[in-house]
Amino acid sequence: MGGYRYSTLTCSAPVLPGSVVSVTLADMGMMAIATGTAPLGVHMMLQATPASIPAGQVSLVASNVGWRTHELVVLPLSGGQAAGARAAGADGKVDEASSLGEASNPCAGGSGDGISARSVGWVTLTLAPGRYELVCNLANHYADGMHTELDVT
């Protein structure tokens, strides 16, 4: 994670049920004044710890330590599909019609307009055994590296 700039968080998640997955959202080489659509080719990352959890109730806590607004969307991965292999549309986003839920509300749970810099958002889901892709689906963020696999056993 070297080279990523981290900012101090202004809020935290409450005690949440089930297995807790900590998700770090970050961008590199951007400044606090960065606004608008992220350009392609900018280094961003989304990292989940742990990367494997037991099936059942799962709380995902997304901490935005970067400069830009981010979000966390949970998508199922099919058979041999690899994380990071989805095709982005002309809008710079991947299809999220199969989304199981998202954390995109700053300092709160559930969906909203995005987790602003230095904020935390969370979502609690019931996940069956399988492979899931955690993504930031704001324009160009997926193509810029904001995706990872979460394995549920």
- The reply to whether 4 falls in a domain is no
Per the DSSP assignment, residues forming a β-bridge with 62 are: 23, 121
Q: How many domains does the chain have?
A: 1
How does 52-72 read in b/e, with b if 16+ C-beta sit within 10 Å? ebeeeebbbbbbbbbbbbbbb
Domain hosting residue 105, numbered range: 19-152
Domain assignment present for 13:
no
Residue owning tokens 């019609």: 97
One digit per residue, the tens of pLDDT, for the chain of length 153 reads: 455 556 689 999 999 999 999 999 998 755 554 567 888 988 899 999 999 999 999 999 999 998 899 999 999 999 899 999 999 999 999 999 999 999 999 999 999 999 999 999 999 999 999 999 999 999 999 999 999 999 999
Q: Is the residue at 53 inside a domain?
A: yes
Q: What is the pTM of this model?
A: 0.93
Give the CATH number for residue 145: 2.60.40.420
Residue 112 within any structural domain of the chain: yes
Of residues 113, 107, 106, 152, the one with CA closest to residue 133: 152
